[in-house]
Amino acid sequence: MDDLLSDPTTVLVVGGRERAVAQVRSGSAGSFDEVVVVVDSVEAALATLSDRRDVGCVLVTAAPTDASVVEACERIHAVDEHRPILLSLDDSAGRTAARATQVGASEIVLDEDDLPDRLAAAVDRYERRRDQAAESSMFRAILDGVEGAVYVKDRAARHLRKSTSPGDFSSEEFIGKTDVEVYGESDNTLASYEDDLRVIEEGEPIYDKEASYTTPDGTHWSWTTKLPWKHDGEVVGLVGWTRDVTEIVERRERLKCQDERMEEFVRSIRHDVKSPIQIASGRIALARETGDVTTLEQASEAITRIDEILDDLTQTVLENSSLSPEGVGVGQSSPVSLSDLLEDVWELVGFDAASLEIEFGADAVVNAPRSSIRPVLENLLKNAVDHGCSGVTVRVGPLPSGGLYVADDGPGIPEAERERVLEDGYTTTRTGTGTGLSIVTNIAEQRNWELSLTESWAGGARVELRNALVVSDPSVVPTAEETFSLTDGIDVGDVIVAGESTLEGDEWHVSGSGKNIYGEWNEFHFRCASVDGPVRIEGQFTDLDGANEWSTAGLMIRDGLDDEASYGHVGLTAGHGTKIDWRTSRGEGGTTRHLEESSLDAPWYRLDRVGDTLTIYCSTDGRSWRPLDQRRVELTDPVRVGTTVCSVQPEELARSTVEHLTVTRLDPE
């Protein structure tokens, strides 16, 4: 393409017939400005074309010394099919000229007096064709290589050209169609079509318009630029470029979220420190007035709490440097004992007349940073004590569908006020700051917990924290001798590409397609066994070749094989750490948690079923197991137990390798 840097001002004459050459030279001195180069052989002509980039036309006037006219035209045409070849032969070569036009000659000049004008026109035509071919090649390179979708549309917003984007329809399926005709009617496609028409009708461009759309692998964002396409001053269509900017938008939102979290964190620290300072100050003042030094113990406890808050501050800063807002930090923080934490908080916020009832077992844990769960429980318990009667009873316990609740037998919260109570600044006292429950709300949003207010068993307030990773009873159930073979390889849901699963030695190799295991979607390959009663499945995921970053491979216990079945599922994603999925009742929408932890080295997972309770575990070595989550799931024997693969790219397969995969009978005492 370096030819584009040279003007095609040279005419190459092959054959050297004197009268024709004379006419060309006279033309170059008068009616056109081209340089004339004369050669007598095809080899010399080809060498000239190789050495020079400014040849705009070839004129064959006679047979060269080393080839026929026809052969000369054929070989010269092969060098550049766009460069014109003119023939100006003597009167006896009519048949030869006709044959030459069949192999590359572009026109025959019968009247040699016309040669100067015909050559000038041919050179001009070649320059236009050369430039058009180069521009077409450049545009094709853009279509084939640019990231995102590049397209050209006519005045009716129908595609004339379209690049092929990964995961999209082929470019041929767009030609002659609008976005609405390709994708169907939706808010996004209708808005895009309206933008097309506005650009075409008004002639005004659109730059970097941001839009979001949902696919089976989550929400994506795009930026679109559309420019009016003008020809001879008239808008004849548009040229556009749409690119995926999900990573950019997510990074922007993370930074925004971090700013908001830091601002809220400062307010939270101010609020959390206020109570122990007040307690310490009050107890010290009381000791001075009465001489009762026992009150100093309570002051000491309050000061200890201030130290803990400062420790939490340090921990939170460390977490914010390595975790996403939703991450729970598997492998980076230990499960928090709920009983110990509740008793510790109650020592600070409770008083003699109030009572705390803990419905959790002594070994119950929550998988969340202590710096997140402590201020939640502290604010909820303090709120119950502050707004309850003098002998208020506060009860904390597990939710069967996952999470925990804090309830009291105080006056409760009117239904009309429940949403406002969670807002920042809401308070019912003159001295209140209105930040307590808003802190709970913000932490819940950051951790992807679902917060709701309802009525307690006694008509008081009940705050429910759903989708928190709570394990009420992490006790390990012993196994029996009986094991089960994974006999069935089944595609669940309406998958496009069939999966398969094979056992080679101790390794299961499983491949699967499917939209997702998420919300309403249930499409994946399932290698499974049918089992009655208590059961455990565990295995080590040593490899996952994902079709994209959301592809997943895991372990599942499922009520059946239809896509409405309830289930519990844990697994590894290609780019977002551990993924936990639940559908606790048949036909309902599922819930998902991406833990977003740092990548574990060949993680182990385990799933235990005892009755309707499923417990999920993870491990780094297959010996020391950490309980992750526990929920009640509607299950009817026999259940399906096995390993899954879902590509989250419906037309492609993802592949996993699972070692030490076992299904074992449990023997609860």
Q: pLDDT tens across 506-550, in order?
A: 999 999 999 999 988 999 999 999 999 999 999 999 999 999 999
Given this model, what pLDDT does residue 171 score?
Answer: 74
Q: What is the dihedral of CA 515, 516, 517, 523, to 10 degrees?
A: 20
| Rounded Cα gap, residues 435 and 445, in angstroms | 15
Class in CATH terms, 2-142: alpha beta
pLDDT tens profile 228-285 = 999 888 999 999 988 888 889 888 888 887 777 677 666 666 666 666 666 667 767 7
- pLDDT above 90 covers a percentage of the chain that reads 44
- Mean pLDDT for 549-558 is 96
Q: Which residue has the tokens 């050459």?
A: 21
Q: Strand 149-154 vs strand 234-244: parallel, antiparallel, or unpaired? A: antiparallel
The ranges assigned to domains in the chain are 2-142, 146-244, 250-471, 479-666
Which run of H or of E encompasses 126? helix 115-145
| Rounded Cα gap, residues 61 and 626, in angstroms | 90
- Mean pLDDT for 48-53 is 89
Question: What is the CATH code for 479-666?
Answer: 2.60.120.200
Q: Does the pLDDT at position 30 exceed 50?
A: no
Burial classification of residue 1, based on how many CB atoms lie within 10 Å of its CB (0-12 exposed, 13-18 middle, 19 or more buried): exposed
| Rounded Cα gap, residues 103 and 101, in angstroms | 6
Q: Does the pLDDT at position 122 exceed 70?
A: yes
Q: Which has more confidence, 561 or 130?
A: 561
Q: Strand 107-108 vs strand 55-60: parallel, antiparallel, or unpaired? A: unpaired
The SS3 call for residue 419 is helix
| Rounded Cα gap, residues 42 and 38, in angstroms | 11
| Least confident interval from 232-236, 316-320, 490-494, 632-636 | 316-320
- pLDDT above 70 covers a percentage of the chain that reads 84
Given this model, what pLDDT does residue 214 score?
Answer: 79
pLDDT tens profile 573-627 = 998 889 999 999 998 989 998 887 655 567 999 999 999 999 999 999 999 999 9
Q: Which has more confidence, 209 or 351?
A: 209
Class in CATH terms, 146-244: alpha beta
- Mean pLDDT for 326-332 is 45
| Rounded Cα gap, residues 479 and 484, in angstroms | 13
**Residue 170: Cβ within 10 Å count:** 10
Average pLDDT of the residues of the chain: 84
The upper half-sphere exposure of residue 543, i.e. CA atoms within 13 Å in the direction of its Cβ, equals 10
> In one letter, which amino acid is 637?
D
| Rounded Cα gap, residues 437 and 435, in angstroms | 6
Q: Are 552 and 575 in contact (CB under 8 A)?
A: no
Given this model, what pLDDT does residue 297 score?
Answer: 67
Q: Domain 250-471, what architecture?
A: 2-Layer Sandwich (3.30)
pLDDT tens profile 338-362 = 999 999 889 878 777 889 999 998 8
Q: Which residue has the tokens 């009742």?
A: 585
613: Cβ contacts below 8 Å, ≥ 6 apart: 473, 630, 631, 632, 633
> HEC profile for 39-81?
ECCHHHHHHHHHHCCCEEEEEECCCCCCCCHHHHHHHHHHHCC
Given this model, what pLDDT does residue 298 score?
Answer: 64
| Rounded Cα gap, residues 450 and 448, in angstroms | 7
488: Cβ contacts below 8 Å, ≥ 6 apart: 526, 527, 528, 529, 530, 642
| Rounded Cα gap, residues 532 and 640, in angstroms | 9
Complete DSSP assignment for 511-570: EE--S-EETTEE-EEEEEEEE-SSEEEEEEEEEEE-SSTT-EEEEEEES-SSTT--EEEE
521's tokens: 């979607």
| Rounded Cα gap, residues 139 and 143, in angstroms | 6
Q: Strand 591-594 vs strand 604-610: parallel, antiparallel, or unpaired? A: unpaired
